[in-house]
Structure 1
Amino acid sequence: MSDAIPLETGDFTPLDAIEGALDWWREAGVDCDFSEEATDWLAKPEPEDAVAAPPPPIAVAPPPQSPLQRALEQEDRPVMGGPQTGWPDTLENFREWWMTEASLGEGALDRRLPPRGVAGARLMVLVGQPEQDDAEGLLTGGAGQLLVSLLKAMGVAEHETYLASALPSAMALPDWQELSRARLGEVVRHHIALARPQRLLAVGRGQLALFGIAPEQAQEPLAIECGGTMIPLLSAPELSQIARSPARRARMWQRWLDWTA
């Protein structure tokens, strides 16, 4: 009969149990960790200062192209307005074409605004695009009210003025260089040729890119060729900039006096 005293399980702490299990395996001759994966024991160790290979570059999708960009890459022809042979040859027909020709702009046709005035005007005022508050027609909002005051001070009556825009409807942040490559400048020159103004006031200097005029030339009195006629051109800042700055108004007034002297 054995003299061994049985031990209760509760006599062992968790740590005693773990150490006992490890001792049992060690006495059984199992004292190493094993893995089923093969190891190349003869391989040369990597240098400690080895630099890890950089991760592969993340592919970035290009920004979506606008319809104008896609058309420019696909075909070498006038994009805005279509073939020039189909452009209207009278001012009356141009206004209808301006409101319905799909290639002249993006968005709904009912957002477009037609030009105002008659051919042969003393002064043609060309803005880049309609203003957001032009509810009753081109330049009928706040910017138009400032323009009326400017024209009155300049001695130009409303019936002596032809009002037009380079774009038929408002566009968020227009890229004038891209629009120039899309032949919008040729459409605008054709419009000016049909309107036959005595002088042209271009309000908003970004649109000068349509005529190939560099920004540093904006302060100079210029002339552009439209339909075989040279039209005197004076550029001005946006009407909103003129309204906010007395200094801009003063410079604008002095340039106008010099231009019309």
Structure 2
Amino acid sequence: MRGIVQNGPADAAESLLSWWALAGVDHAVNELPVNWLRPAVAPARVRPASPGGDAPRVDRPDALPNDLSAFHAWLTTHPSIHEAGWSSQRILPAGAQNAAIMVICDLPDPEDAETGTLLSGNCGALFDAMMAAIGRSRQDIYLSSLSVTRAPGGILHDQDLEILATRMRHHIALAAPQRLLLLGEKTNRALLAADSLERPSGLQSVNHPAGTVPAIASRHPRFLLKHPEAKAQSWRALQYLIEDLPS
């Protein structure tokens, strides 16, 4: 107001507009709304290209060990496996090569971090009961998971599944089981047809670098604990699994 009295309305308006221009405001209205309280987004960091082009992904099949013991060691110590940034604790597969049944789940549960083994706690108790029902135990199966660490929020995204499934096919070839039991929707989607979990109608084939292996999908024990009505369907899947399988 003091400027208007001393210099007149026109001079005051011109002075105000000049001040806003210096502040970077060159128009009063935009076609799109702007959230002025949103923090500024940092510019994306560009990863410098290597002299020989893109570096090979560490989980690529031709970069993986071709011996089961060496593969276990690689899962244990390699700093750049796909899921290395999710958790520092890796829950490793357990069991012997050429087992009658290789069980594959999606990823470790929170209880598994306490025991250092897959399928612990209540899930483990139910899983052990499932194996006992078909005359098996943990001592005579090979137990593994797509991811050796727990993903944030326990969620495996499609891009994760693609990478982990490729590595698991290599893993299956090294373990050389007679049959596969795939636990959970994510595991099934990664390695079998999308609807095989909903309608178990017999063994299907999972391809791997050394050939194929018969497989069946079943609900994960964590699902069965919440939905006991699905146990009958899982029991049918287990019957398919052991059909004509040498004891």
Structure 2 partner of 1:229: 211
Gaps of 5+ in 2: 1-7, 12-27
Q: Percent identity?
A: 24
| Residue 58 in structure 1 maps to residue 34 in structure 2 | yes
Structure 2 partner of 1:255: 237
Structure 1 partner of 2:176: 196
Structure 2 partner of 1:112: 90
Structure 2 partner of 1:180: 161
Kept in 2: contact 1:116–1:163 (CA 8 A): yes
SS at match of 2:111: coil
Change (3 A) 1:110 1:56: closer
Cα offset, 1:229, TM superposition:
2.0
Gaps of 5+ in 1: 1-34, 39-51
Structure 1 partner of 2:129: 149
Decide which structure has the larger Cα Rg and report it. 1
Q: Runs of at least 4 residues of structure 1 off by over 6 A? A: 59-65, 74-77
Taking the aligned partners of 1:63 and 1:160, their CA distance within structure 2 comes to: 52
Cα offset, 1:106, TM superposition:
2.9
Structure 2 partner of 1:159: 139
Structural mapping, 1:6-155, within 5 Å? 36-37=9-10, 55-58=31-34, 79-81=57-59, 83-104=60-81, 105-107=83-85, 110-134=88-112, 135-136=114-115, 137-155=117-135
SS at match of 2:215: strand
SS at match of 1:133: helix
Taking the aligned partners of 2:226 and 2:95, their CA distance within structure 1 comes to: 28
Taking the aligned partners of 2:196 and 2:43, their CA distance within structure 1 comes to: 33
Residue number among 231, 238, 257 corresponding to 2:220 in the alignment: 238
Kept in 2: contact 1:99–1:109 (CA 8 A): no
Taking the aligned partners of 2:123 and 2:142, their CA distance within structure 1 comes to: 16
Change (3 A) 1:58 1:113: same
Change (3 A) 1:92 1:124: same
Cα offset, 1:76, TM superposition:
6.4
Change (3 A) 1:171 1:199: same
Taking the aligned partners of 1:140 and 1:259, their CA distance within structure 2 comes to: 22
SS at match of 1:232: strand
Cα offset, 1:146, TM superposition:
1.3
TM-score, normalisation: structure 1: 0.67
Cα offset, 1:125, TM superposition:
0.8
Q: How many residues align?
A: 208
Cα offset, 1:108, TM superposition:
7.5
TM-score, normalisation: structure 2: 0.71
SS at match of 1:234: strand
Cα offset, 1:250, TM superposition:
1.1
Taking the aligned partners of 2:182 and 2:209, their CA distance within structure 1 comes to: 18
Cα offset, 1:54, TM superposition:
5.5
Residue by residue over 1:1-45, the C-alpha shift from the partner in whole angstroms, topping out at 9 and shown as x without a partner, is xxxxxxxxxxxxxxxxxxxxxxxxxxxxxxxxxx6329xxxxxxx
